[in-house]
Amino acid sequence: MALKITDACVNCDVCEPVCPNRAIAPGAAIYEIAPERCTECVGHYDTPQCVEVCPVECIIVDPAHAETPAQLLAKFDSLREEKK
């Protein structure tokens, strides 16, 4: 599943730079995660880096964007190809 940032976000700016897929960006009120770019760090790390660094624990699984580990890996592969 892609992740999402809840309204508990304090805009501390620590999640955006650690995202290897550039899926996190400032939104109108809080940071937002683009589900089409979020792989939960599959292909890069064992755990989602944004979750690891978030001081208020406001990054959760987004049930609206359910994906299997295989789908997340396929998305990672697609994003990697996009960079070439």
pLDDT per position as a tens digit, 23-80: 999 999 999 999 999 999 999 999 999 999 999 999 999 999 999 999 999 999 999 9
Q: Where does the pLDDT of residue 84 fall: very low under 50, low under 70, confident under 90, or very high at 90 and above?
A: low
Q: How far is CA 69 from CA 10, 12, 28, 49, in A?
A: 29, 29, 30, 16
Q: Quick one: pLDDT at residue 7?
A: 97
Q: Which top CATH class is 3-83?
A: alpha beta
Instruction: Return all residues near 17 (Cβ < 8 A) that are at least 6 apart.
Output: none
Distance CA 33, CA 70 (A): 20
Domain ranges across the chain: 3-83
pLDDT per position as a tens digit, 46-62: 999 999 999 999 999 99
